[in-house]
Amino acid sequence: MFVCNLSAEEYVQAASYHKDSNENSIEKAELLLKSKPFEIATGCSDLGKLIKKRGNAVLREVHLLSAYMRLKPYSEMVLVGECNPEHDTCYLITKSLARRFDKFIVIVFTESIFSVATNRRDLPTFPQFSGSSKDEVIINVREYAKETIRDSFSEDIFLEDGDFLWENYYETQFLEQRLNVKLFHKFIPKYTLKKANMKLEKEFYEKVVEQRKEKHTLDFFFD
């Protein structure tokens, strides 16, 4: 169970991103914050408990998805990821990743929206990016980064299909004798397999755990 000890104001702010929150519930939360903030911080009333519960759910999602999401790097100091959050947390996840990777511009896509954020302090302006497609958004952000950021990586260190490397890793390093489903879910919870867009891990789990196929070896590398 994910629980935070935050201020009443922080719980109200986080709860406003919950999928079940609306203008009416947010207004009630803000009124309670002004009159009896201790009820939110302690969860000692029904409304205070609900606000705290929703706030924790939102923050748990931000914590998990920003931790498990695979990011694709571009040489212009841009990182791109995808996820399928349950709550309206795309912006919060992007900001969390931008704080962690503070030299990069981070783009996060969901099924319906995207968000762009950076923690760099050396950029003169940070525009509102737009695009009719995912590729167009990425191109626009990369062009902006190329014009404004002096740092860069060599293209040689990036793989066009980085997933291929991970796929080979999972295929060749798995041993049936070491299969430990409980430990697997300890490190990669079921929630993140679905919500963090961990396609490779999900497919591999289904193949070796649910379908119980034969173990894979390194033999094909030495043909």
Summarised one tens digit per residue, pLDDT across range 122-152 is 887 788 898 889 999 999 999 999 999 987 7
How many residues are there in the chain?
223
- pLDDT above 70: residue 221: no
Q: What mean pLDDT, rounded, does the chain reach?
A: 83
Q: Are 39 and 47 in contact (CB under 8 A)?
A: yes
26-35, 76-85, 153-162: least confidently modelled range: 153-162
What is the pLDDT confidence band of residue 159, given thresholds at 50, 70 and 90? low
Cα 73–75–77 angle (5° rounding)? Answer: 70
Q: Are 86 and 194 in contact (CB under 8 A)?
A: no
Give the neighbor-by-neighbor strand order of the sheet with 78-82. 72-74, 78-82, 105-109, 114-118
């040689």: which residue's tokens?
156
Structural domain boundaries enclosing 191: 162-222
pTM of the model: 0.77
DSSP 152: -
37-41, 71-75, 191-195: least confidently modelled range: 191-195
174/145 same-domain check: no
Higher pLDDT, 185 or 137: 137
42/75 same-domain check: no
Among candidate residues 123, 157, 191, the one where a domain is terminated: 157
**In this structure, is residue 187 part of a structural domain?**
yes
CA distances (Å), origin 177, targets 109, 169, 174: 38, 17, 9
136/195 same-domain check: no
Distance CA 165, CA 183 (A): 23
Q: Buried b vs exposed e over 40-52: b needs ≥16 C-beta within 10 Å?
A: bbebeeebbebbb
Mean local confidence (pLDDT), 60-84: 91
Distance CA 43, CA 56 (A): 12
pLDDT score, position 165 = 59
C-alpha 50: how far from chain center: 24
pLDDT score, position 168 = 65
Mean local confidence (pLDDT), 78-106: 95
Mean local confidence (pLDDT), 83-87: 95
Q: Are 93 and 69 in contact (CB under 8 A)?
A: yes
82/153 same-domain check: yes
**In this structure, is residue 1 part of a structural domain?**
no
pLDDT score, position 62 = 96
CA distances (Å), origin 40, targets 16, 23, 31, 138, 195: 13, 18, 11, 40, 28
34/107 same-domain check: no
Among residues 70, 78, 74, 96, the alpha carbon closest in space to that of 163 is found at 70
Phi, psi (rounded to 5 degrees) for 56: -65, -40
Higher pLDDT, 170 or 79: 79
* pLDDT tens-digit series, residues 19-67: 999 999 999 999 999 999 999 999 999 999 999 999 999 999 999 999 9
DSSP 16: T
51/22 same-domain check: yes
Q: Is 101 exposed, middle or buried (0-12, 13-18, 19+ CB in 10 A)?
A: middle
pLDDT score, position 73 = 87
Q: Are 105 and 74 in contact (CB under 8 A)?
A: no
